[in-house]
Amino acid sequence: MSLLNVLFLCTHNSARSIMAEAILNHEAQGRVDGFSAGSHPRGQVHPLALQALEERGVSIDGLHSKAWDEFAMPDAPRMSVVITVCDRAAGEMCPIWPGAPIKSHWGVEEPGRLAEGMADGTARQAFNTVLEKLERRIRRFLELPLESLDAASIKHELDVIGRMP
């Protein structure tokens, strides 16, 4: 398989899916392109998500909260893989994605919910913990010999990665 387009989905597209998009684009070095969207986008990215990315040297240029409908349009980039990162989005009725992409679920905690009512340093740690989990999974995904795997094998590997702690 050549270059893959990967879409990360979350309900609000304000933290987890945004962080996954940024990490994938940072780590993949052009081999894979990452995107993100939400079923009910919040319209803004959580500042602590952006801070966590910047602290790791990951570019936050162009990151913004957007609806998943954008990627179901005929002129949108064709997705090879769609990964839900929250349980709520995984259970929602998704649009019909052009090209029938591979789908997987990588549920991770909502850092904004974890951080509610916490002191600033503890709230930042909640975002860093989620970011580290996404980094481990994305790095494992990028270690796969994607060029030589068929769709069923990629799906299997994505599902295994989604169960990683």
The answer to whether residue 4 scores a pLDDT higher than 60 is yes
Give the pLDDT mean for 44-48: 94
pLDDT at site 90: 52
In total, how many domains does the chain have? Answer: 1
CB atoms within 10 A of CB 41: 22
What CATH number did the domain enclosing 26 receive? 3.40.50.2300
What's the domain range around 111? 4-162
Residue 120: CB atoms within 10 Å: 9
Read off the pLDDT of residues 47-102 as tens digits, 9 standing for 90 and up.
999 999 999 999 999 999 999 999 988 889 999 999 999 876 555 666 777 888 99
Element (H, E) at 139: helix 120-143
**Contact indicator for 100, 152 with CB cutoff of 8 Å:** no
